[in-house]
Structure 1
Amino acid sequence: MTEQASSVSRRGTNLPAMGDFNQSVILDAIRRAPKGLSRVQLVPATGLSAQTISNICRRLIDAGFILEAGKESTGPGKPRTMLVVNPEGRYALGVHLDPTVMTFVMLDLTGAVVMRVRKPTPTETDPAKIINKIVREVSKLITSSGVEKSRIAGVGIAAPGPIDSVRGTVVDPPHLTGWHRVPLRDAMADATGLPAILDKDVTAAAIAEMWAGGSNGTGSFCFFYLGTGIGVGLVVDDLVVRGSSGNAGEIGHIVTDPNGPPCFCGLRGCIEVTCMPQALVQEAEELGVLDDSRVGNDTTSVDARFTQLCDAANAGNVIAVEIIERSAVRLSRAVAVVTNVLDVDRVVFGGPFWARLSEYYLRKIPELLEELRAARRIHRVTLSGSVVGDDVAAVGAACLVLDRALAPNPKALLIAH
């Protein structure tokens, strides 16, 4: 593979019936190369024959997925015509339903955000009313973008788990009251007239990092999503790990402090009651960092109070700093459990609460993690923040659509008889 091609390579097959899979392999290879690839470079990058590549590239150009972007000298011989993804070839919409805020994005075919909107999540307990609000915002986004609806490949929805991935339903998430088996995927598809995909927010966040994170998003990594709740998106050898029901990454009941407060699950010191923003706000109220007004446990109040806690820490309040650093110690134990089980190369942190914690966590967790890792003498695990930003779950939701359209899926090779 050339220097311009990614270190991650999906291989194609020269069987005639595998055209769709091979098209995805070629698109994925071109997308991952920062400067694009020539047809000659695509041969070693994909394992496909020159004739297969030539035929598929012509179809992709005719369909507007890729462009010829001038010539470049890539080795001996005459300059080669470079192929790049056409950003305007298709678009994808992403929606993140968080208990506190709803985020809407539109991505072009390269995965770049071309529009984004944030709105507070309605305090309604009726899912139908919230879905109607989501649909209205999606329609406004499409209108404002000026993009023809025919060029939009679909809408991805990232929601708190648990989800039923087969039925496309949201199943009793802890912070969304009344969401019992709500058919969110089909409701969005029916209302928008677009293909819809539903996935967990933590999984969507990991996919966003795969698409936009550069070296952060390759190989094996875990994405610790810090939002109203805490979960982890899992990627092993460039494949997303969803679990048998699509609900992998639920880590709320990993015990991080055996002497900590009791959890409703019957254990003590779970992430649920020691690391989540609501738990830290409660700790700050008990220790006098925040006035014990107990303004409410709704997610909007917790978000505002959590900001006050972080502001106090940044202003030098010693107790506030200790609260956040204790949470870093606790979370490092959960990170160690996940990294030891999966033997990943890196840990990526992100989500709407990450920016407020990043300074403290990146100072404390790396050293603590090294003490707890089983394979520390064999290889390092790097820790970093997401390059995607606070909207990572919404971006990931749109990437679900692009991933289905562009990334090669080995299941396509399973031919039914």
Structure 2
Amino acid sequence: MSGTGVNLGALAEFNVAVVLDAIRRHPSGVARTEISTLTALSGMTVSNVCRRLVEAGLVTEEAAPARGRGKPPKILTLNPDGGFAVGVHIDPAVVTYVLIDLAGRVRERMRTATPTVQNAAKVVGEMAARLDALLLSAGVDRAKVLGIGVASPGPIDPETGVVLNPPMLPGWHRVELRRALSIVTGLPVLIEKDATAAVVSELWFSEPDERRDFAFVYYGTGFATGIAIAGSAVRGVSSNAGDAGHISVDPDGPICACGRRGCVGVVTVPRALVEQAVRDGVLTGAQVGDTADVLQVGTAFGLLADAAAVGDAQAMEILTGAARHIARAVVVVVDLLDVGEVVFGGPFWPQIAPFALTTLPDAVHSDPGLVVPHRIRFSESAIASDVAAVGAATLVLDDSFSPRAEALRIRNPDEAVARFSTL
């Protein structure tokens, strides 16, 4: 028998999440009375929740400096050392591991070359060993780790935690990553598409209502987009929403594997630009090496960006040309979603940013295909090149601490919410 009432256990969990969210959004501290005003929770509810959070070590409470007569209020702040989350970003070139604290600060990071999956169990074992090394280097007790977030190129199956068949990850076909990694590490594991993980991190680290409707353009070994509408990440039916890589931006461009010409995910990525640089004489074949090797492509792309930075006209044209192609894809995304902002980030974004940001805004606003009547804001992620890895770790914090009203509905009489049962 299903119900539509309020689950009292879920209500308690929801209240904890609401209070935690209010505290984390006030890093300089907030009093209980202020929390009650901000959250519309009763003073008694706020006091009970705060007491439990202090006892659990997630929050600290100290008296404010005395000002005049009367007892100064106690100020609550998030305890950064109260818990940690691990983020893993699987890129075609490298796997990035980060450890973040409750305040979202990166406490440790590590990178390794991305393995080709021939033995999935061996790959998962290697990842578990790297996670152990990460915690050891940071001096963090595993008992304080809330979970592991994994950001992977799509497509993924979030229900089963399987990496399905990412086009730029040879051998990664139906890798049952979430369950295997959870068994080996003994920790909860979440898996998300990389660009969506980046969106979650942008929402997490933004001020309330600062960013609500935006597209995130992820520029790494590949090209990907993530979406936020009304302050929430858009995942879609299968959690693979936002793949804009097959938007055609150059009708005379090379044929993509999908059969179209000039897909943005083909003509703008570092490998394509490095190959163009060789054809145009900006780089030599010896400088580039094997363009099938993503690590060598990354090094060569850095050389291309350096040449553009010192004024090489051909190098600059290659990067600004890529920016114009990206702008055409952005126009399609903006028209489709009616977002007000486009955020850029990813491992290779810093190299192209100086040229893209001087070309792309005008290219978008002057495009005859732009339908929306409002100006588009263009900004860069505050999380530099590790945005997907940090986003993966943020998934864990967001899953643990972000209040969600839908959790209050009873779907099953046996439903029990245990996330904060230890508090």
Which whole-Å CA distance do the structure 1 matches of 2:131 and 2:28 have between them? 33
Deviations 1:129-153 (A, max 9, x none): 3332211110111122222211110
Q: Is 2:247 the counterpart of 1:232?
A: no
Pick aligned residue for 1:318 from 294, 313, 318: 313
Deviations 1:71-106 (A, max 9, x none): 2699x9974322111111111111111111111111
Amino acid at match of 1:94: G
Deviations 1:220-262 (A, max 9, x none): 2221111111111111121111111010121110111223222
Q: 1:257 to 1:72 in 2, by over 3 A?
A: farther
Q: Is 2:236 the counterpart of 1:243?
A: yes
Which whole-Å CA distance do the structure 2 matches of 1:31 and 1:206 have between them? 19
Q: What is the Cα deviation at residue 272 of structure 1? A: 2.3
Which whole-Å CA distance do the structure 1 matches of 2:228 and 2:103 have between them? 21
Pick aligned residue for 1:327 from 322, 339, 357: 322
Q: Any idea what SS the aligned residue of 1:391 has?
A: helix
Pick aligned residue for 2:193 from 196, 200, 204: 200
Pick aligned residue for 1:30 from 23, 37, 44: 23
2:407 aligned residue? 412
Q: Is 2:303 the counterpart of 1:308?
A: yes
Deviations 1:355-409 (A, max 9, x none): 1011011111122222244334x4x322121111211111111111111111112
Q: What is the Cα deviation at residue 414 of structure 1? A: 2.1
Q: Is 2:367 the counterpart of 1:374?
A: no
Which whole-Å CA distance do the structure 1 matches of 2:254 and 2:177 have between them? 35
Amino acid at match of 1:317: D
Q: What is the Cα deviation at residue 213 of structure 1? A: 4.5
1:364 aligned residue? 359
1:147-158 superposed matches below 5 A: 147-158=140-151
Q: Any idea what SS the aligned residue of 1:295 has?
A: coil
Q: Tell me the TM-score normalised to structure 1 length.
A: 0.90
Deviations 1:253-311 (A, max 9, x none): 01112232222212211112211111112222222222246623121122122112112
1:184 aligned residue? 177
Which whole-Å CA distance do the structure 2 matches of 1:391 and 1:297 have between them? 23
Query: Is 2:342–2:377's contact at 8 Å kept on the other side of the alignment?
Result: yes
- Extract unaligned runs of 5+ from structure 1: 1-12
Pick aligned residue for 2:136 from 143, 156, 160: 143
Q: 1:187 to 1:18 in 2, by over 3 A?
A: same
- Extract unaligned runs of 5+ from structure 2: 1-5, 413-423
Aligned alpha-carbon RMSD (Å): 2.3
Q: What is the Cα deviation at residue 323 of structure 1? A: 0.8
Which whole-Å CA distance do the structure 2 matches of 1:162 and 1:383 have between them? 27
Q: Is 2:55 the counterpart of 1:55?
A: no
Q: Is 2:120 the counterpart of 1:120?
A: no
Q: Is 2:277 the counterpart of 1:284?
A: yes
Q: Tell me the TM-score normalised to structure 2 length.
A: 0.89
Query: Is 2:247–2:263's contact at 8 Å kept on the other side of the alignment?
Result: yes
Q: Is 2:164 the counterpart of 1:167?
A: no
Which whole-Å CA distance do the structure 1 matches of 2:405 and 2:65 have between them? 32
Amino acid at match of 2:58: F
Query: Is 1:213–1:386's contact at 8 Å kept on the other side of the alignment?
Result: no
Q: Give the fraction of aligned pairs with identical amino acids, expressed as a percent.
A: 44
Q: 1:350 to 1:216 in 2, by over 3 A?
A: farther
Q: What is the Cα deviation at residue 201 of structure 1? A: 1.1
Deviations 1:150-209 (A, max 9, x none): 111011111111101100010111121111110111111111111111111111111222
Which whole-Å CA distance do the structure 1 matches of 2:63 and 2:273 have between them? 55
Q: What is the Cα deviation at residue 121 of structure 1? A: 2.1
Which whole-Å CA distance do the structure 2 matches of 1:217 and 1:183 have between them? 37
Q: What is the Cα deviation at residue 215 of structure 1? A: 7.4
Q: 1:180 to 1:99 in 2, by over 3 A?
A: same
Amino acid at match of 1:416: R
2:3 aligned residue? none
Determine which structure has greater relative contact order: mean sequence separation of CA pairs < 8 Å that are 6+ residues apart, divided by chain length: 2
1:88 aligned residue? 81
Which whole-Å CA distance do the structure 1 matches of 2:135 and 2:27 have between them? 28
2:334 aligned residue? 339
Amino acid at match of 2:108: M
Amino acid at match of 1:347: V
